[in-house]
Amino acid sequence: MQTTTLTIDGMRDEQCLRLVTNAIQDLPGISYLEISLETGQATIEHGAFVSSADIYQAVEDAGFSAR
């Protein structure tokens, strides 16, 4: 398993958190996901066939920015 940590900008409430969570969980091979609404910090454990770039793209496709 690989671990990707990123900060998600633009989340304001629980609905935003759900949108981002669903977008990331829709990727194949996500085994663990924790996102803090307060800090925007996200920790994702995933298989080797999902890259960090895939995760960043999923967050952006959900309408948020990641760094």
Rounded Cα–Cα distance for residues 50 and 27 (Å): 7
Which pLDDT does position 60 carry in this prediction?
Answer: 97
Type of residue numbered 27: L
CATH for 49: 3.30.70.100
Residues 57, 1, 19, 37, Cα dihedral to 10° = -110
pLDDT digits (tens, 9 = 90+) for 17-66: 999 999 999 999 999 999 999 999 999 999 999 999 999 999 999 999 99
Structural domains of the chain, count: 1
Which pLDDT does position 49 carry in this prediction?
Answer: 92
Phi-psi region of 40 (alpha: psi -120 to 50; beta: other; left: phi over 0): left
Query: What residue numbers bound the domain in which 51 lies?
Result: 2-66
Which pLDDT does position 50 carry in this prediction?
Answer: 95
Enter the pTM of the model: 0.93
